[in-house]
A = this chain, B = another copy of it.
Amino acid sequence: MTREHEPPVAMIDRVASLLQVFDGHDRLTLAQISRRAGLPRSSAHRILQRLVELGWVERRGFEYGLGIRMFELGSQVVRRDGVHQAALPYMHALHRSTGLTVHLSALVSGDVLHLERVGGWPEKGESWRLGARQPAVHSAAGLALLAQLDEGDWPVSSGDEWLRHEVERVRDRDGVAIDLEGCSVGVTAVAAPVGPCEGGLSAALSLCGPAGSMPVGRAVAAVRRAAADIWYAASGVTRLHGRQIRRVHAAAPAVLAHG
């Protein structure tokens, strides 16, 4: 094994830190990139040049941004996930029948990250977009996922009386969390976990709609049922007790109005 074949950790970190400076930034100049990544300008330039050739970064004039290859690879992370694949048709059916926006989200170090979204509302809310994050403790999806974990496993600072109380309410509601504008003013959301937490990424299904006009009780029932259906579909478990799997493609009547 030659020295050349032993990549120094520092080198991997340089490439990674360079890509990560684009988190939250569309376009950056070489000077901004080298400063943010803490790399000498010549070093940053050299890595960038190669990443541009590989399609990971793209250059427009004097600015750089992440390239389309990054989007393509990244989208596979979610697209090839079993729960995500099982969830898609149920999410579309739920959106059609309720008119509300449906999210599938995972807990990622103190936040929920939206892995999928079906529906256009809220149009302006950046934190509700696909790939965006919301603080777990303020979102319905986050509270539904925290309630599945022991307090010691919470990826957020525990010991907070308010949070413990919120999580207890979720558990009393059989796992369903309700967010009344805690995450965004004007937005009510309800969430249910998809299956039990099993070490890996566990996901929550949520419905959001305009605060005030969203029929919370019916949304809770709908999200709870869809989350259970997704879990059964994903795990290939046949239902007991002879309950028929509902046809998700049937044009369901709009049971929930959208504002």
A5, B43: Cβ atoms under 8 Å? yes
Q: Which residues of B contact A1 (CB under 8 A)?
A: 40, 42-43
A73 to B7, CA, bound (A): 24
Interface size class of A (residues with CB under 8 A): 35 or more
Q: Which residues of B contact A70 (CB under 8 A)?
A: 70, 73-74, 77
Q: Given B5, B68, B74, which contacts A73 in the complex, CB threshold below 8 Å? A: B74
B131, A16: Cβ atoms under 8 Å? no
A72, B131: Cβ atoms under 8 Å? yes
Which A residues fall within an 8 A CB radius of B? 1, 4-16, 19-20, 22-24, 26, 39-40, 42-43, 46-47, 50-51, 54, 56, 60, 65-68, 70-80, 88-89, 91-93, 106, 108, 113, 115, 118-120, 123, 129-133, 200-201
- The 15 listed contacts between A and B (C-beta, < 8 Å) are A7-B11, A7-B15, A7-B43, A9-B50, A16-B50, A16-B54, A23-B73, A24-B76, A65-B77, A65-B80, A67-B77, A68-B106, A74-B131, A75-B75, A92-B120
